[in-house]
Amino acid sequence: MLRLIRHGLADRPLFLNIWALTAAFSTYFFMYMFRKPFTAAAFAVDAETTWDGKSVIVASQIIGYFCSKLIGIQVISQMPAKRRASALFFLILLSHFALLLFAVLPAPWHIVAIFLNGLPLGMVFGLVLGFLEGRRLTEALVAGLCGSFIIAGGYSKTIGQWTLDVLTESLSLSLASAERWMPFITASFFLVPIGVSVWMLAQIPPPSELDEQLRSERSPMTNSDRWRMLKRYGIGMIGVAAFYLVTTILRSLRDDFAPQILSGMGATIRASDYAWIDTQVAVVVLAVSGATALIRNNRLALQLSLAISLLGFALLAVALTASDWLSPVQFMVMIGAGLYLPYLAVHTTVFERLIALTRDRGNMGYLMYVVDSIGYLGYIVILFLPKDVLLGDLSADTQFYSSFRGYVWVGSTLGCLMTLVAMAHFSFMRSDPYRKA
């Protein structure tokens, strides 16, 4: 059976692409069940400190995730293909054990446990990406991968809320105890599914000779390779990193504090609302992002992906201007689409086509982890700044919603400016010799 699968993947491109898309999407979707279900809980404020309980827990996990991105700049860029699958599943097991520690350790040590949960998970995306890059349909495949985290955030909160309801109503656990156990119990249901998904990834053959001709070979990088690439891309890389920083901060605030934003708009929240909102966002964004795979010219595809980013930032301004006429769900869908258009453009197309255009020795994982580490550092700074100055009182949802709107206005403006900087710089990069192949 295994021989038949490998033969089919090697000889049938359609079967290979469907298999790869399914494996990547399901792996990252299931990973979110180890990362995000806890955001459905409220986590009461610690009366002995000025810190908001949920804010501290979110920040702790994000710090772990940020550290993982820094480590991943080297680890992911030089990871041999044959070790990706085993490394990936090992990281998942580490994160699951950390959730058990989160459930059983007394405060404040549970904060350390949620940090340890984020620490291994930050490298999962880069490992999955390594199976998909450097192919003729990389954009479509990576769009499918990114579609998983667009909808997985909503579904993980929905499943987390259902688990919380069962623990408190059916099993009569106290709310505080249920909130601690809910992430571990939710993740436990997905150990076997993610194991199967990782196995599917491991069966994907490397890119073909035609893939390498059109998109360039992707290889592990040395330290000198990494510095050479950063120096060459220079100002354009700064522009991409800057607008990616904006989208990372706003996307994370929207995702982690969706209950507060919706409540601040006067919405009555149901568990299924989160999944429905992000499903609508995914349909819009994936159709736009995946379509760039149809463009063979690498320079054109690169510039189009940056134009799509501009469209996303403009959509944010439209959503804010029309917010009085939009329902809370419609507002969240438009904000989500506006943020994910540039966010996915970087994931699917900008770095993929930049490497294909320049033929530089390198891989997408390295460039993604550089901008990811910057993005998550920015979010950590936001979470640790005085909340009454920048976030407002998290227990007063209307105040938090007002602060979030201000952030989106600033982000929309800065995002447009930085995207234009990147477009101007990359327009002068040399053409690839295979653009007419």
Q: Evaluate whether 9 touches 204 at the Cβ level (below 8 Å).
A: yes
265: amino acid identity, one letter:
M
Helices (H) and strands (E) in the chain, counts: 19, 0
Q: Who wins on pLDDT, 391 or 289?
A: 289
Averaged over 263-284, what is the pLDDT? 80
Please state at what angle helix 175-188 crosses helix 138-165, rounded to 10 degrees: 140
How distant is the alpha carbon of residue 336 from its chain centre? 13
pLDDT band for 28, please (50, 70, 90 cuts): very high
Averaged over 21-33, what is the pLDDT? 96
pLDDT value at residue 437: 35
pLDDT value at residue 18: 93
Averaged over 270-287, what is the pLDDT? 82
Instruction: Judge whether residue 428 has pLDDT over 70.
Output: yes
pLDDT band for 88, please (50, 70, 90 cuts): very high
pLDDT band for 176, please (50, 70, 90 cuts): confident
Sign of CA dihedral 17, 19, 22, 23: negative
Task: Name the average pLDDT for the chain.
Answer: 87
Instruction: Judge whether residue 232 has pLDDT over 90.
Output: no
pLDDT value at residue 237: 94
Q: Evaluate whether 205 touches 9 at the Cβ level (below 8 Å).
A: yes
Closest to 407 in 3D by CA, of 220, 261, 289: 261
Averaged over 365-377, what is the pLDDT? 92
Instruction: Judge whether residue 317 has pLDDT over 90.
Output: yes
* Low-confidence winner among 284-288, 313-317, 387-391 (lowest mean pLDDT): 387-391
Q: Cis before residue 108, ω within 30 degrees of 0? A: yes
pLDDT band for 171, please (50, 70, 90 cuts): confident
Q: Evaluate whether 302 touches 283 at the Cβ level (below 8 Å).
A: no
Closest to 347 in 3D by CA, of 140, 200, 153: 140
Q: Evaluate whether 371 touches 346 at the Cβ level (below 8 Å).
A: yes
Averaged over 340-345, what is the pLDDT? 94
Range 2-205+213-426 classified under CATH 1.20.1250.20: yes
For 136-164, what is each residue's pLDDT tens digit?
889 889 988 988 887 888 889 889 999 99
Averaged over 168-183, what is the pLDDT? 89
pLDDT value at residue 388: 58
Q: State what percent of residues in the chain have pLDDT above 70.
A: 91
Q: Evaluate whether 326 touches 319 at the Cβ level (below 8 Å).
A: yes
Averaged over 58-76, what is the pLDDT? 92
pLDDT value at residue 89: 97
Please state at what angle helix 328-345 crosses helix 271-290, rounded to 10 degrees: 40
pTM greater than 0.85:
no
Q: Who wins on pLDDT, 222 or 93?
A: 93
Q: Evaluate whether 308 touches 341 at the Cβ level (below 8 Å).
A: yes
pLDDT value at residue 435: 41
Please state at what angle helix 191-202 crosses helix 84-104, rounded to 10 degrees: 160
User: Which DSSP string do the residues of 50-85 spell out, in sequence order?
Assistant: SS-HHHHHHHHHHHHHHHHHHHHHHHTTT--GGGHH
Averaged over 299-325, what is the pLDDT? 94
pLDDT value at residue 436: 38
For 189-217, what is each residue's pLDDT tens digit?
999 999 999 999 999 999 988 888 888 88
Instruction: Judge whether residue 5 has pLDDT over 80.
Output: no
pLDDT value at residue 359: 85
pLDDT value at residue 3: 64
Q: How buried is 123 (Cβ within 10 angstroms: 0-12 exposed, 13-18 middle, 19+ buried)?
A: buried
Which residues touch 110 (CB under 8 Å, ≥6 apart)? 101, 102, 103, 180
Q: Which two tokens stand for residue 99?
A: 């959730």
Closest to 246 in 3D by CA, of 106, 89, 422: 422
Q: Evaluate whether 330 touches 318 at the Cβ level (below 8 Å).
A: no
